[in-house]
Structure 1
Amino acid sequence: MVQLPKIMRNIVLILTATSVCILLSILYANNKPFSKVYHLFNSKNDVFKLAKQLNSERLFKAHQYLDGLNKTQQPNYDSRPELAIVIVTVKRKAYDASSLGYVLQSISATHKLFVNDLVFPKKTMMICNVDLHPENYTEIVNLKPFIPVVERYGASSLPITINSSRISMYAKRRYNSKYDKETVDYMYCLESAYSLGASYVLLIEDDALPREDTLKVLKNKILYLKSKNKGRYSFIKLYYPQRWQGYAYESSRILEIISVGCVGAGLAVAIQFITCRTKSYFLQLMYFSCGAWLFVTAALIIGRQNVFEFYRISKYLYSLRNSPGCCTQAMLYTRQFIPALIDFLSVKHKALHTDLAIYNFTNVTGIPAYQIEPNLFYHVGMYTSLSSSDKHKNAEEFIFDP
């Protein structure tokens, strides 16, 4: 039987450890977007100002990188590459578009990833300019000498071919809906990349930035799916809005929080077993319960989005789940199903937004599609290209410095 003083000492120890750990969690999470305490320490106005400041800093770095490129270097092109990387872009008419520089940030980060990558030795990068007046899109015109550019309404610097049945569709200039044009733009860029013979097409919207380990993780997941005889899939979604990635009443996320609790419980019992001579079932149960409660509480304070950051220590900790409907900032498509997807979108694009039409394709055909977690891309598009107003998205999503 455990003596009362020993029990009290352990209770005091547990309470002290709990207080310290919760305090440390709050200190760690106070400047982490999507944590439970973030807005206790940061006002919405301060967050908005910080998001704009960080965007300006990223744009400055992008200019530095692009200005340092060898302007005499010929565009890189591999026939029948394993991977085609495509940035879909249109000139923005949104609020203060000239100073946002989303496309330059995306191109510089993607080009840096492209030239430093070793896991896809045979690959091609191109910009897909879908602006109605490509000659007036000066940011892209200036990049033509050293990055291949394909234009929906102009010339192309790569030998692309388009299905004859869709030539008139791609030549169309007037649309009743801006979302309708967005989907056809997307189809054109996807078909252009497909025509190069690529095994995989990484389609990136012009407000998405890849992380440094993007291609390493992608290669790992491609090989993983092949090893599990799951190579038959339409796409892997590489970005999903962080605001929807928190803990929620979903079975998979409830299991996640239970797993976090089990880790804390096991660690606490191990510490008790090593440090205490008394091997009391009561004490072990007390340590087990407190360890589980402490880790769950810390995870909820920090937020699932920030817990994800610990997963990035290894490419093997990234996970695949069934793809949700939203969104299309960054998608990896397999060559096998690109023609079927384009045919589907050519019929369904007038009824649905692009991301929902693509999601509907997987539902109708039954072809699997995945989403990778944590995200492999950042999203910089606080102002959307589909709006000309000064309205912006939640600034909390754009607090990052890659």
Structure 2
Amino acid sequence: MINHPKCLSTGHATRGPHMKMLRRIFLLLQHGTIACGKKLPYPGRLASIHLITLYSVTFFFLLPALCYQMRHSIYFLENLKDRDQQIEMFNAENDKRIQQANLYLQNVYKAGGNSAETQGLGNTDTLISEMDKQAIPHFLNEQEPRVDIAITIISVSRNRHKFDSYEPRYLTQTVWHYLHLLSRPDAQHRSVKLFLCNVDNDPATYHELLNLSSIVHTFQRFPNKFEFHINVFEKEKQDYVYCLNASLSWNPSFVLLVEDDSLPRDELFPVMNYVLDYFASDKKGHKTTLMFPDKWYMKLYHPERLLGYWSMEIERIPELASLSLLFGLLVICLYQCLGLRVTIFTNINATWFFLSLYFCLVFIAIGRQNLLELRRLSKYFFMLTPAPSCCTPAILYPSAGAKAVVDYLSATHCKASFAKDMALEEMRYKLGMKAYLLQPNLFRHIGLYSSLRTKILSPSVV
């Protein structure tokens, strides 16, 4: 499910201007340093040559060699392939995940006493790591007494051979990944219950979900085939409200409402639990009530193409400036340790400026999205920022916040120019509700086949 159309902008369309801008800045800097260097005494000329060499080697040799396969860098070459090639590669990766999911889910069905072959999961000769055959995992238990986090996957059938014969099976992949993550020890910190929410208007023909509903508790919006005559954005909003309200019927402390083409990353539960623990403790470390306000929500995914420095979110320009100044200062310290300050650089302020500018351009060239990946080294490195307005593939709500969203959206009408993510943004301002974004993303968006716009999206915007 893809949100408001304003968020759909091709990732590679903007890289050309960025690359040209970077080259212009470099040429301007080059001419400026040469002109200044000619008027400077010998140490100044030496510094000018040193800087030109540093910039040239970095931006024309080193970074192109290192970043040509890094998506979101200005050197990324994958977008040179035509759209059909990109779709073929995207679906090839999708097929690998489907195969892994089928192998894993066979064991889950066996654990529940069902036959994988009769449930339409297909045959396989090899099984990956086996689950406990004695009992259904606790997160699939219908009698779960307490639910801290209700994870509800909103799902609707895709493609139905409207565009081609390919079956993306996104729901199968996401269920597999949740079951795999929930069976790990680092997910046992809180009681978690997994749900499916079928909002397909012809549920009897949605065989992928019907197969999975035998092991995962399912909310069914339409018992029979239903012909809706409302705007598709309004139906999407109504589906969202239904699934959120159905999740609240289990009285969870939190509801994680996700779309079926949002694949959770391996660090989902350790990071999410750490964030909730952090805001549930005071400075002395004693458990107290949540330090969050009563009504809030936290986005665990934001489109990667909108996470760069060029998106101009309020916190990103100071972030870029502070990182550049810090690394510039570190290099100056390195020069001093090596004894190069006197022989090469005579003006410490000018040196700091040019080195900071150098790192600023390096970070822009690499891409903020790629720098964010370094934060995955530890759950302590993730950061919480104000949430942008777009989009809703994965949002964590406390129960009070979820109820407020249900009440507000139920009284709001959505349309093409006012999708549910915009309605949530409007609610934030009217109710004074807090919204956060956890970075980097804890989910991957794998939905190439859009159920909202009934078309195949460009891989560059997925």
TM-score by length of 2: 0.75
Q: Which position in structure 2 is the counterpart of 1:125?
A: 194
Deviates more, 1:12-21 or 1:76-85: 12-21
Which amino acid in 2 is paired with 1:124? K
Match status 1:259 vs 2:322: yes
Per the TM alignment, residue 283 of structure 1 is displaced from its structure 2 partner at its CA by 5.4
Q: Which position in structure 2 is the counterpart of 1:38?
A: 76
Which amino acid in 2 is paired with 1:152? R
Q: Structure 2 CA distance, aligned partners of 1:277 and 1:339?
A: 63
Q: Which position in structure 2 is the counterpart of 1:242?
A: 304
Which amino acid in 2 is paired with 1:378? R
Q: Is the 8 A contact 1:322 1:370 kept in 2?
A: yes
**Residue in structure 2 matching 1:85, options 151, 161, 167:** 151
Q: Which position in structure 1 is the counterpart of 2:213?
A: 144
Q: Is the 8 A contact 2:149 2:253 kept in 1?
A: yes
Please give the secondary structure, in 2, of the residue aligned with 1:221.
Answer: helix
Please give the secondary structure, in 2, of the residue aligned with 1:175.
Answer: coil
Per the TM alignment, residue 173 of structure 1 is displaced from its structure 2 partner at its CA by 5.3
**Residue in structure 2 matching 1:47, options 86, 89, 105:** 86
Deviates more, 1:25-34 or 1:367-376: 25-34
Q: Which position in structure 2 is the counterpart of 1:66?
A: 105
Please give the secondary structure, in 2, of the residue aligned with 1:31.
Answer: coil
Q: Is the 8 A contact 1:225 1:231 kept in 2?
A: no
For structure 1, list consecutive stretches of 5 or more residues without a partner in the other structure: 156-170
Q: Is the 8 A contact 2:241 2:406 kept in 1?
A: yes
Q: Structure 2 CA distance, aligned partners of 1:279 and 1:35?
A: 36
Please give the secondary structure, in 2, of the residue aligned with 1:243.
Answer: helix
For structure 2, list consecutive stretches of 5 or more residues without a partner in the other structure: 1-39, 113-135, 283-290
Identity of counterpart residues, as a percentage?
A: 28
Per the TM alignment, residue 143 of structure 1 is displaced from its structure 2 partner at its CA by 1.6
Which amino acid in 1 is paired with 2:395? M
Which amino acid in 2 is paired with 1:366? G
C-alpha RMSD of the superposition: 2.7
Per the TM alignment, residue 124 of structure 1 is displaced from its structure 2 partner at its CA by 0.5
Per the TM alignment, residue 286 of structure 1 is displaced from its structure 2 partner at its CA by 4.9
The alpha-carbon distance between structure 1 residues 52 and 98, as it changes in their structure 2 partners (threshold 3 A), is: closer
**Residue in structure 1 matching 2:271, options 212, 217, 225:** 217
Q: Is the 8 A contact 2:414 2:420 kept in 1?
A: no
Q: Which position in structure 1 is the counterpart of 2:65?
A: 27
Q: Which position in structure 1 is the counterpart of 2:429?
A: 363
Q: Which position in structure 1 is the counterpart of 2:26?
A: none
The alpha-carbon distance between structure 1 residues 378 and 276, as it changes in their structure 2 partners (threshold 3 A), is: same
Q: Structure 2 CA distance, aligned partners of 1:384 and 1:266?
A: 47
Q: Is the 8 A contact 1:272 1:287 kept in 2?
A: no
Q: Structure 1 CA distance, aligned partners of 2:428 and 2:350?
A: 48
Per the TM alignment, residue 69 of structure 1 is displaced from its structure 2 partner at its CA by 2.6
Q: Structure 2 CA distance, aligned partners of 1:255 and 1:217?
A: 25
Which amino acid in 2 is paired with 1:108? W
Which amino acid in 2 is paired with 1:64? L
The alpha-carbon distance between structure 1 residues 143 and 251, as it changes in their structure 2 partners (threshold 3 A), is: closer
Please give the secondary structure, in 1, of the residue aligned with 2:222.
Answer: coil
Q: Which position in structure 2 is the counterpart of 1:289?
A: 353
Per the TM alignment, residue 112 of structure 1 is displaced from its structure 2 partner at its CA by 1.6
Per the TM alignment, residue 222 of structure 1 is displaced from its structure 2 partner at its CA by 1.9
Deviates more, 1:242-251 or 1:135-144: 242-251
Q: Structure 2 CA distance, aligned partners of 1:49 and 1:259?
A: 41
Please give the secondary structure, in 2, of the residue aligned with 1:69.
Answer: helix
Pairs within 5 Å for 1:103-122: 103-116=171-184, 117-122=186-191
Q: Which position in structure 1 is the counterpart of 2:30?
A: none
Which amino acid in 1 is paired with 2:229? Y
Please give the secondary structure, in 2, of the residue aligned with 1:348.
Answer: coil
Pairs within 5 Å for 1:388-399: 388=454, 391-398=455-462
State the Cα deviation string for residues 23-82 of structure 1 (Å, max 9, x = none). Answer: 332222211222112148733444343223222222222223223434333432423311
Which amino acid in 1 is paired with 2:90? A
Q: Structure 2 CA distance, aligned partners of 1:303 and 1:218?
A: 25
Please give the secondary structure, in 2, of the residue aligned with 1:369.
Answer: strand
The alpha-carbon distance between structure 1 residues 144 and 176, as it changes in their structure 2 partners (threshold 3 A), is: closer
TM-score by length of 1: 0.85
Per the TM alignment, residue 304 of structure 1 is displaced from its structure 2 partner at its CA by 1.4
**Residue in structure 1 matching 2:167, options 99, 104, 124:** 99
Per the TM alignment, residue 224 of structure 1 is displaced from its structure 2 partner at its CA by 3.0
Please give the secondary structure, in 1, of the residue aligned with 2:151.
Answer: strand
The alpha-carbon distance between structure 1 residues 97 and 341, as it changes in their structure 2 partners (threshold 3 A), is: farther
Q: Is the 8 A contact 2:262 2:445 kept in 1?
A: yes
Q: Is the 8 A contact 1:261 1:296 kept in 2?
A: yes
Deviates more, 1:200-209 or 1:131-140: 131-140
Q: Is the 8 A contact 1:131 1:137 kept in 2?
A: yes
Which amino acid in 1 is paired with 2:325? C
Match status 1:153 vs 2:153: no
Q: Which position in structure 2 is the counterpart of 1:165?
A: none
Q: Which position in structure 2 is the counterpart of 1:76?
A: 141
Pairs within 5 Å for 1:198-217: 198-217=252-271
The alpha-carbon distance between structure 1 residues 144 and 48, as it changes in their structure 2 partners (threshold 3 A), is: closer
Deviates more, 1:317-326 or 1:205-214: 317-326
Q: Which position in structure 1 is the counterpart of 2:6?
A: none
Please give the secondary structure, in 2, of the residue aligned with 1:86.
Answer: strand
Q: Which position in structure 2 is the counterpart of 1:317?
A: 381
State the Cα deviation string for residues 253-282 of structure 1 (Å, max 9, x = none). Answer: 211210221122122112112111655872
The alpha-carbon distance between structure 1 residues 325 and 268, as it changes in their structure 2 partners (threshold 3 A), is: same
Deviates more, 1:284-293 or 1:359-368: 284-293
Per the TM alignment, residue 234 of structure 1 is displaced from its structure 2 partner at its CA by 2.0
Q: Is the 8 A contact 1:330 1:377 kept in 2?
A: yes
Count of aligned pairs: 379
Q: Which position in structure 2 is the counterpart of 1:166?
A: none
